[in-house]
Amino acid sequence: MRIHKEGFWIILFSFIALGILSPLSGLIPMPIYLHYIIWGLLVVIFLWIVKFFRYPKRIISPDETRVLCPADGKIVAIEEVYEPEYFKDKRIQVSVFMSPNNVHVNWSPISGTIRFMKYHPGKYLVAWHPKSSTHNERTSVVIENHAGTQILLRQIAGALARRIVCYAREGNSIRQGDEFGFIKFGSRVDIFLPLNAELEVKIGQKVSGKQTVIAFL
């Protein structure tokens, strides 16, 4: 287990803040047990921040017939929808909600070429809100595999998530399981699949990024 690069500075600043706030709390007149409670809470918050930016090592065997889950979390939506941004036709949408306790690395579900990437500023509705997919801050990425099949990934910011990081660039190649982004402090990833995809997940199922098979193409 290692720490993701997006967390280096936040963890450093948190450690400095812990070192400043802990002795300062000792200057406030209060019962000694309250000092211990405050120090304990500060340590717990720091350890949670370190845990949030964990980056687990996961090994896979690439398979072009499988669509792997792009994120840790829970399946909160599976429905046939009209996708207006890129495909402009009907697709199967699978939505993965990431709680603040989940790993927040985003992995590529298939191998191929990045055909489209666009960032959209927006609101910060809770990630499970029906309109968050089109109203919130988000980034859309389309990957085309070697057979010409395209899927769209949409990183969506939530009420706590205030920064979406996307490493994908149009024209670049990407392998199944490669990291393509990171979302800070809880959010959601939508996957738009062809209508003939064979789904392997169900509503409410807990999933693991780079491990759980979302569908077969």
Please identify every residue annotated as catalytic.
187
Check if the beta carbon of residue 118 is closer than 8 Å to that of residue 154.
Answer: no
The amino acid at 133 = S
* The token pair that represents 188 in the structure block: 């959601």
